Structure 1
């Protein structure tokens, strides 16, 4: 009998994250349905064969064995083992009040946390021991599977290097608006071709400004799948976006502007006038820099076999078959009430 799984999503980036898992689920002869929370998802991104559940009652009736979430929270009343697959690598954003990295905030929603590599796993294993109401398994990031698939192809218009610019949506950390004049100036030189894409939550005014700035050598792309852009690009220009970490996993250089936590595997500048020379240098792929990128990749996401989705499903099935002895989660009554109110679901 086919197993039933659920994808619980609230943002457009979920499609690129979960579709490799959908492929693996179908490969095993099992089924998966999608549920959309809120209004941020563009439903036109759904493929005709993808099953959507219209409301919470339909989700309850579906009775999934497990629910996969590329986000931070899920209501406790959704049936099934709750599996956090994460929506990105360890980011740069920290909570203002205590400096805690948002990647490591425990919201008491999940039964299983699937981590991407040692740098994430080590901290989550400590949190597992501290809280004792969830399990942690290192699996790799399902979103990265297609990047390491031998069938992934790169389509380039010409032989010029391609620079991909992306920025975080956080107003406090984004350099998108400040860098627009610089990118407009640099893109007038035809030595590089420029691609620009942003997080779905980027301010519409910023998106509109970059769309208006487009010309033959500068293209803005709105998409639910940035993989083709990342494969095509030779270098990424960014600030504090988690997308630049994904780009580094492809063994490609990144130049950042005013990164809040600059590291040796990044070329970080604080003066936009230094961007051009930094890009020129990074495109030579200097040995020392590329070695630091390789070391960072080994700690962040050592899996290049394209099998992270399979490992997530294996970890899920193992937990369902051999349930660990875990403590009960904290009630968090206020959070539970807010989730019910948000979804308009009051049945018990």
Structure 2
């Protein structure tokens, strides 16, 4: 049965999360519509996804709304499905971060055992949402290069190894201001090729500095190319960004600068002068590091088949068909949040 589905985002980094799901829905013959607000306003997904606005989203009455934000407009019809905008990288406490339940969603599609168990415990207490482990749609393209995007990003490297650099926008955690000179020196050497990017919320002056490094030994790429770049790179240099966990799913080494919660699968350092030796270690990983990478990858995202989007759709259908049990009414706190969302969006109709 063909149905209409709505994709919702409030930041541009949600686009590569929603695009694989859009493709899976289209392949199944469904109508796919997208409503983007705030930081994602003005962005688009490729046709045949139909971009719509607030009033069209309400009139659509979708079968389900898939959100890659930490909220979703409750006044739009359909099951509300949380896809997550990143992995849990412990930037904040559980109460304020990844495991915060706002009473807006009916289904949480978790990425792997590390998030499934905590959310199932929360679901057992709250009773107003279901949890299904599906894997993360954003990583579907990580295990295939359907359009050759990864190969194109890697092509200028020739036979050289490839390093990717990514950084969070959180000022106290960002490596970008501290590592620029060290990275610039590595790029100038030219023995490795660099793929450089920054979080969309990083200051414009940082973007200008890193873009200036582009040339024969480096390229700067945009957020929409993030997954393709991860597939193209051999080693990641980063900080406390969730890109670290995305990259680790491939079982590839990661070098982190002052990570907030360093773990055995990371090569963490705190002095920019150490960058050359840390990269050397990453390109010649010890067996213990490879074992730690594999164990962590299995805990956060064991799926390597590129079919997480298909599992998300199946989980949503199971919810709508009553196969996941009967959910309780949303808590009173969710009604207050719903009023806040209406006020923020300027929508007061029933």
Q: Give distance in 2, aligned partners of 1:234 and 1:25.
A: 32
- 1:261 and 1:328, CA in 2 relative to 1: closer, same or farther beyond 3 A? same
Residue of structure 1 aligned with 2:90, choices 92, 96, 112:
92
Contact 1:9 1:71 in 2 (8 A): yes
Q: Does 1:51 align with 2:53?
A: no
Once the two structures are overlaid, the 10-residue window that deviates more, 268-277 or 153-162, is 153-162
Q: Which position in structure 1 is the counterpart of 2:79?
A: 81
CA apart distance, 1:152: 6.7
Q: Which position in structure 1 is the counterpart of 2:124?
A: 129
CA apart distance, 1:18: 1.1
- Residue 189 of structure 2 aligns to a residue whose secondary structure is coil
- Residue 104 of structure 1 aligns to a residue whose secondary structure is coil
Q: Give distance in 2, aligned partners of 1:129 and 1:152.
A: 42
Q: Where does the alignment leave 5 or more consecutive residues of structure 2 unmatched?
A: none
Which structure 2 residues correspond to residues 1-348 of structure 1 after superposition, within 5 A? 1-43=1-43, 45-54=44-53, 56-95=54-93, 100=95, 102-149=97-144, 151=146, 153=148, 154=151, 155-157=154-156, 158-322=158-322, 324-332=325-333, 333-348=335-350
User: Larger helix proportion, structure 1 or 2?
Assistant: 2
CA apart distance, 1:241: 0.4
CA apart distance, 1:206: 1.4
- 1:334 and 1:74, CA in 2 relative to 1: closer, same or farther beyond 3 A? same
Once the two structures are overlaid, the 10-residue window that deviates more, 224-233 or 121-130, is 224-233
Q: Give distance in 2, aligned partners of 1:80 and 1:186.
A: 51
Contact 1:115 1:138 in 2 (8 A): yes
Contact 1:13 1:225 in 2 (8 A): no
Q: Give distance in 2, aligned partners of 1:223 and 1:171.
A: 19
Q: Give distance in 1, aligned partners of 2:39 and 2:266.
A: 35
Q: Where does the alignment leave 5 or more consecutive residues of structure 1 unmatched?
A: none
Contact 2:187 2:213 in 1 (8 A): no
User: Scaled by the length of structure 1, what TM-score is found?
Assistant: 0.94
Once the two structures are overlaid, the 10-residue window that deviates more, 329-338 or 232-241, is 329-338
CA deviations 1:209-258 (Å, max 9, x no partner) are: 21234343232222413122111111000000001111111111000010
- 1:3 and 1:138, CA in 2 relative to 1: closer, same or farther beyond 3 A? same
Q: Give distance in 2, aligned partners of 1:303 and 1:152.
A: 21
Contact 1:162 1:234 in 2 (8 A): yes
Q: Give distance in 2, aligned partners of 1:287 and 1:42.
A: 46
Contact 2:12 2:40 in 1 (8 A): yes
Contact 2:36 2:42 in 1 (8 A): no
- Residue 34 of structure 1 aligns to a residue whose secondary structure is strand
- Residue 219 of structure 2 aligns to a residue whose secondary structure is strand
In the comparison of the two structures, how many residue pairs are matched?
343
CA apart distance, 1:149: 2.8
